[in-house]
């Protein structure tokens, strides 16, 4: 025989887990300071520039 489940408690538990997932994504999205965001953006731009500088065009114009 299966275990009895109180639906009210199950709904509340599901709501709590959904809220925790949303909070985790918001922490990742909005949890950085402005200085950290700017530093990571600058680093990302430097890496892109460095990578683009090493790009070899396969069809150079004559």
d(CA 28, CA 16): 19
62 has pLDDT over 90: no
List Cα–Cα distances, 53 to 2, 7, 40, in angstroms: 64, 60, 20
Does 1 fall in a domain?
Answer: no
Cα–Cα distance measured from residue 34 to residue 47, given in angstroms and rounded to the nearest whole number: 20
Q: Each residue of 47-58: pLDDT tens digit?
A: 999 998 888 787
- CA 14 – CA 34 distance, rounded (Å): 34
Hey, what are 36's tokens? 């950290």
Confirm whether 60 is domain-assigned: no
pTM: 0.48
pLDDT confidence of residue 55: 81
- pLDDT tens digit string along 15-39? 999 999 999 999 988 888 899 989 9
**Overall number of domains in the chain:** 1
Domain holding 50, by residue range, is: 7-54
| Residue 62 placed within a domain | no
Report the SS3 class of residue 4: coil
């Amino acid at each position: 025989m299966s275990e009895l489940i109180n639906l009210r408690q199950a709904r509340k538990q599901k709501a709590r887990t959904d809220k925790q997932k949303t909070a985790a994504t918001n922490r990742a999205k909005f949890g950085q300071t402005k200085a950290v965001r700017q530093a990571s953006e600058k680093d990302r731009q430097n890496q892109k520039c460095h990578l683009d500088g090493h790009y070899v065009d396969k069809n150079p114009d004559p």
